[in-house]
């Protein structure tokens, strides 16, 4: 029997490089965006707008620009630890799915489906069964279910509702000091040695 009955993995900035995709779209580097971004602060649109020299950009305009960019969601690159994270999920969980908050962008769901087919090799049935886009992640909280997410508030709500959660270290959350090795942090929480994924 595996240690985790159900594992829910966030997609953007846990498996897929959403930040990198946004930076590419706005013609800025990650370093330029981070120079405008307070460590631990949630919200990408403002730092990217400032780095791109577009301080007038609103949050609504930001999301609309992603929706207008054909193939944005499907074209996101997997993060460097993607394959190891999937192996970890396969080895540590009886079952796992991707639970993504989704976005304001109508093209988001279809793009995420295409991403899962391309990078996970899932067929249409698997995508239907294993990709859930729903912003109220805490509604999936049960004893024995673990959420891995880069949004601290989502993890906190999930725990309050009776689930277990792991904050995935990234620049925009309180664990930003561990962002160089986020998978190592997850392994440590799960009681696995970093690099022990095989």
Query: 135 and 149 in contact (C-beta within 8 Å)?
Result: no
Task: For residue 116, give the nearest of 128, 106, 104 by alpha carbon.
Answer: 128
Give the mean pLDDT of 177-196.
81
Split at pLDDT 50, 70, 90, the class of 193 is low
Percent of the chain with pLDDT over 90: 89
Taking only the tens place, the pLDDT of each residue in 2-56 is 589 999 999 999 999 999 999 999 999 999 999 999 999 999 999 999 999 999 9
Within the chain, which residue ranges are assigned CATH 3.40.50.1000? 4-17+75-189
CATH number for the region 4-17+75-189 comes to 3.40.50.1000
Q: How far apart are CA 115 and CA 135, in angstroms?
A: 19
Q: What is residue 196's predicted lDDT score, i.e. its pLDDT?
A: 39
Cross-strand bridge partners of residue 100: 133
**The two three-digit tokens of residue 144, written as one number:** 């024995």
Q: What is residue 105's predicted lDDT score, i.e. its pLDDT?
A: 77
Task: For residue 7, give the nearest of 193, 111, 140, 101 by alpha carbon.
Answer: 140
> What's the whole-model pTM score?
0.93
Taking only the tens place, the pLDDT of each residue in 145-155 is 999 999 999 99
């Amino acid at each position: 029997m595996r240690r985790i009955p159900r594992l829910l993995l966030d997609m953007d900035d846990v498996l897929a490089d959403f930040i990198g995709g946004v930076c590419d779209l706005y013609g800025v580097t990650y370093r330029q965006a981070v120079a405008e971004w307070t460590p631990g602060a949630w919200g990408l649109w403002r730092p990217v707008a400032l780095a791109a020299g577009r301080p007038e950009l609103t949050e609504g305009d930001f999301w609309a620009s992603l929706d207008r960019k054909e193939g944005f969601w499907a074209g996101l690159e997997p993060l460097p630890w993607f394959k190891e994270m999937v192996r970890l999920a396969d080895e540590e969980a009886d079952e796992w799915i991707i639970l993504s908050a989704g976005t304001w962008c109508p093209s988001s769901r279809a793009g995420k489906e295409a991403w899962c087919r391309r990078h996970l090799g899932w067929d249409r049935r698997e995508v239907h069964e294993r990709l859930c886009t729903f912003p109220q992640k805490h509604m999936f909280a049960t004893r024995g279910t673990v959420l891995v997410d880069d949004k601290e508030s989502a993890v906190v709500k999930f725990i309050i509702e009776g689930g277990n959660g792991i904050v995935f270290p990234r620049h925009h959350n309180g664990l930003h000091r561990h962002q160089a090795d986020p998978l190592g942090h997850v392994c440590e929480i799960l009681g696995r040695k970093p690099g022990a994924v095989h």
